[in-house]
Amino acid sequence: MTEKNTPLLDELEKGKWPSFVTEIKRAAVKSEAAGELLQVLERSYKERRGHWKHGGIVGVRGYGGGVIGRYVDEPQTYPNVAEFHTVRLLQPSGWFYNTKTLRTVCDIWEKYGSGLTNMHGSTGDIILLGCKTEHIQPIFDEFSEAGFDLGGSGSCLRTPNCCVGPGRCEHACYDTLEACYNITNEFMDELHRPMWPYKSKIKFSGCANDCTSSIARSDCSVIGTWRDTLRIDQEAVKEYAAKMNIKAAVCDKCPTSCLTFNAETQELSVVGEDCTRCMHCINVMPKAIQPGKEKGATILIGGKSTIVQSAFMSWVIVPFMKMEAEDDFAEFKDLMRRIWEWWDEHGKSRERIGETIYRLGMTKFLNGIEVAPVPQMVFRPRANPYVFWNQDDLDRSGTALDGSKL
Amino acid sequence: MAILDQGPPHYKKMLPPIIEENYGKWKYHEIPRPGVLKHVGESGAALYSVRVGTPRLVSIDFIRDVCVIADEYCDGYLRWTTRNNVEFLVSDEAKLNPLLQKLEAEGYSVGGTGRSVSNIVHTQGWVHCHTPATDASGVVKAVMDDLYEYFNTMKLPAKLKMGLACCLNMCGAAHCSDIAIVGVHRTPPRINHEVIRKGTEIPSLVASCPTGAIRPDPKNKSVIVNEDKCMYCGNCYTMSPAMEIYDPKNDGIAILIGGKTSNARTSPSFSRMVIPFLPNTAPRWPETTEAIRKILELWIANANDGERVGEWVERIGWERFFTLAELPFSDMLIDDYIFSRETFRTSAQFKY
């Protein structure tokens, strides 16, 4: 018998912020596993240490991932959470739901699992926390029947996610919801059957505000942008001018000083070629300033968190790409296939693509995926002369002593 | 038999009619009050989104509760945000105030918009992770309780995005947050040779170490850890429960600040360590909540209008920040990992 009281956790039911302890207690009314989770957690609070371990591969027929094995370290003491596995379900783009869909998730999970979820996991999936090994296949079968599918785990394409996009945002420079849906479906095999050196993530943000934090959290960041000049509605500028200091709040904060507010005419002007499309002015004056008309996305590669070679932010490899549903996002998909093929060939086990590129050099990577170098890829060029010349370059640039081409 | 590879549920089935009608044709948005967004389409249609904080770890009862509310006020449509808030999507303006009253009566937390503290993106911690150095949900709860007045108001200099990672694998976007709370192990794993001999795959265990600190010890049918190379990530514990990484006396929390992922004004930036260690004082982590409040209040008092934490610190200078914050500077705050050189001051310009 384990102690049923949870004096330490009860402290976390106090205060105004919603309490996860209350949530576990609610689940515990119907689930013995959730009740026992509370006991394990109370012990962690007392001992200041975790009590979970990996332990064996679990999964469903036909897939290599989607379920993560989790076991308590004292199964005799806590038999109901001896197996307490996590199931990942692919979320709808933008985390939009109707209540019917959500109730279906609840009903199936109530039948087999602990009744606890994460809405959502850091990568974006619906996370179902805590089920037994014997129930994994039935859970998948029922969710599949109801129109759901498992998310990614292991060395695969992890579940892509996206911002709210054109569904509810005036800034969206491409259809993030459709791109995420379409591209997730395109790469089902890569997502469900781990076959790469390590995990790889894609996140779709509709503008440079990057609400999915794609630049920090994904190996491939697709960030909406435009190529032409932002559009200004001078009538709306005048309305803003009546209630705010446009020079201080907008022009003075523009990183390239490309905006000028003329107090006399009450008009705002922009030097288009100086603008770096950072979104600040649009954020402050959405009624008056809009992105340009020629919209698409910047593609950046290599973002990841600290382990192992430090945290990387993704870097630009394609400054501007059209992201259109009409052509089925063909250019993007083609690029991703070339990138993954290169990484598959050159990456070491447990090496994220950013680390592989860093180890072998950006130049080799660009050559490997057949992308031509452009200055937008770097903040500034190299400060050393250690260029690795290849024979083609030598043949092109070398000259004989008499001045003739070699 | 399950259908394989059918993909996620189609998002189009999840969109309320007002979104279908105004898809890609939104003109602007406003924040009429904290926690409420008003999006206006080119057609003039207005959609109200009411944002509610959640603990992320929620029961199916919670999900069913919000479904009941969404059925009554939102024709059954709602969404979750990237920061684990729920948004009720109200297309009938007449239902907005009744919804807000309902949410208040039921004790929901409405807020997290504009210049506020939004929900803290966080990991699993002691609830479900195998390598945590601290709990995640509990620290988040303690910090959000303490900062609640900044969640349901919009009185900060700029938005504040926080992240918590419960070990130094740093799952979640803690490495690019305005304020990051990071669980830290500080001691190498302890090897239980008995458990290893009973059935650990030694080659897999050796391969699991990202820094090559683990090597086989054939004589003892076990492994040896080169403690100088260990960075306490706990990957080896994933492979074998014989490699105990938790250490109740020495595990704790580090605070990093000044990161962001948005490109607005300044480029995205990493969070930087300002406090290398705070103790794991469960269940309410008073040292952590106090340290965060102090940094937050310093930012409120000193930042220019619209300046995020990192923009403020970069403007005044990190050396000045340490003086103002009265935080001790130590060798632990000077980077000695791979890309350290770019953080060294190669200039004779600095402040005191």
Query: pLDDT digits over B30-48, tens only?
Result: 999 999 999 999 999 999 9
pLDDT at A1 over 50: no
Distance from CA of A336 to the nearest CA of B (A): 19
What percentage of residues in chain A have a pLDDT greater than 90?
91
| pLDDT in the model for residue A5 | 93
With bands split at pLDDT 50, 70 and 90, how would you rate the model's confidence at A237?
Answer: very high
- Claim to verify: residue A189 and residue A140 sit in the same structural domain: no
Q: In terms of DSSP H, where are the helices of A133-233?
A: 136-145, 176-186, 188-192, 214-217
Distance from CA of A65 to the nearest CA of B (A): 12
Q: Which of A88, A115, A145 finishes a domain?
A: A145
Scanning the structure block, which residue is given the tokens 């005191």?
B352
| pLDDT in the model for residue A24 | 98
Distance from CA of A55 to the nearest CA of B (A): 8
Is A388 within a domain? no
Q: How many domains does chain A have?
A: 3
Residue A13 maps to which CATH number? 3.30.70.2500
Distance from CA of A391 to the nearest CA of B (A): 32
Q: What was the ipTM of the complex prediction?
A: 0.96
Mutate to test the interface with B, among A17, A150, A232, A245 (most CBs of B within 10 A): A17
First to last CA, chain A: 87
| Residue ranges of B 164-193 with Cβ closer than 8 A to chain A | 165, 168-176
Q: Return the axis-axis angle of helices A353-360 and A330-346, rounded to nearest 10°.
A: 60
Mean pLDDT for chain A? 96
Shortest CA distance from B71: residue in chain A: A99
- Claim to verify: residue A300 and residue A359 sit in the same structural domain: yes
Is A271 within a domain? yes
Average pLDDT over residues A64-89: 96
DSSP code of A266? Answer: T
| Residue ranges of B 273-332 with Cβ closer than 8 A to chain A | 280, 282-284, 305-306
pTM of the model: 0.97
Task: Name the residue type at position A21.
Answer: V
CB contact set of A243 (below 8 Å; sequence gap of 6+):
none
Residue A236 maps to which CATH number? 3.30.70.20
DSSP code of A308? Answer: T
Residue (of A62, A85, A128) closest to B5 by Cα position: A62
Is A394 within a domain? no
Residue A327: Cβ within 10 Å count: 10
Q: Return the axis-axis angle of helices B286-302 and B137-146, rounded to nearest 10°.
A: 40
- Claim to verify: residue A16 and residue A137 sit in the same structural domain: yes
Q: Which domain holds residue A63?
A: 7-145
Mean pLDDT for chain B? 96
Is A150 within a domain? no
pLDDT at A54 over 80: no
* Per-residue pLDDT tens digits for A278-319: 999 999 999 999 999 999 999 999 999 988 888 999 999 999
Residue (of B342, B283, B347, B272) closest to B314 by Cα position: B272
Q: In terms of DSSP H, where are the helices of chain B?
A: 17-22, 60-74, 96-105, 137-146, 148-151, 193-197, 202-208, 235-239, 286-302, 309-316, 318-325
- Claim to verify: residue A65 and residue A127 sit in the same structural domain: yes
Element (H, E) at A389: none
Is A323 within a domain? yes
Task: Name the residue type at position A105.
Answer: V
- Claim to verify: residue A213 and residue A309 sit in the same structural domain: yes
Residue A307 maps to which CATH number? 3.30.413.10
Q: Let me know if A5 is exposed, middle or buried by CB neighbors in 10 A (0-12, 13-18, 19+).
A: exposed
Helix, strand or coil for residue B182?
strand
- Claim to verify: residue A300 and residue A283 sit in the same structural domain: no
Is A395 within a domain? no
d(CA A347, CA A342): 8
* Per-residue pLDDT tens digits for A185-227: 999 999 999 999 999 999 999 999 999 999 999 999 999 999 9
Phi, psi for A173 (deg, rounded to 5): -95, -10
d(CA A66, CA A105): 16
- Claim to verify: residue A176 and residue A303 sit in the same structural domain: yes
Is A348 within a domain? yes
| Residue ranges of B 133-162 with Cβ closer than 8 A to chain A | 135, 137-138, 140-142, 144-145, 148, 151
Scanning the structure block, which residue is given the tokens 């240490």?
A49
DSSP code of B342? Answer: G
d(CA A131, CA A138): 11
Is A324 within a domain? yes
CB contact set of B255 (below 8 Å; sequence gap of 6+):
B179, B180, B181, B182, B273, B274, B275, B278, B288, B291, B292, B295
Helix, strand or coil for residue A127?
strand
Helix, strand or coil for residue A299?
strand
Which DSSP string corresponds to B3-67? PPS--SPPGGGGS-HHHHHHTT-EEEEEEEETTEEEEEETTS-EEEEEEE---SEEEHHHHHHHH
User: Bridge-partner residues for B273, per DSSP?
Assistant: B256
Is the CB of residue B198 less than 8 Å away from at least one CB of chain A?
no
d(CA A161, CA A123): 7
Q: Tokens representing A45?
A: 């609070």
- Claim to verify: residue A56 and residue A204 sit in the same structural domain: no
B258 with B309: CB under 8 angstroms? yes
- Claim to verify: residue A201 and residue A341 sit in the same structural domain: yes
* Per-residue pLDDT tens digits for A115-169: 999 999 999 999 999 999 999 999 999 999 999 999 999 999 999 999 999 999 9
Q: In terms of DSSP H, where are the helices of A18-57?
A: 20-28, 32-47
- Claim to verify: residue A166 and residue A134 sit in the same structural domain: no
Scanning the structure block, which residue is given the tokens 């000695």?
B336
- Claim to verify: residue A60 and residue A169 sit in the same structural domain: no
- Claim to verify: residue A114 and residue A45 sit in the same structural domain: yes
Q: Which of A247, A269, A290 finishes a domain?
A: A290
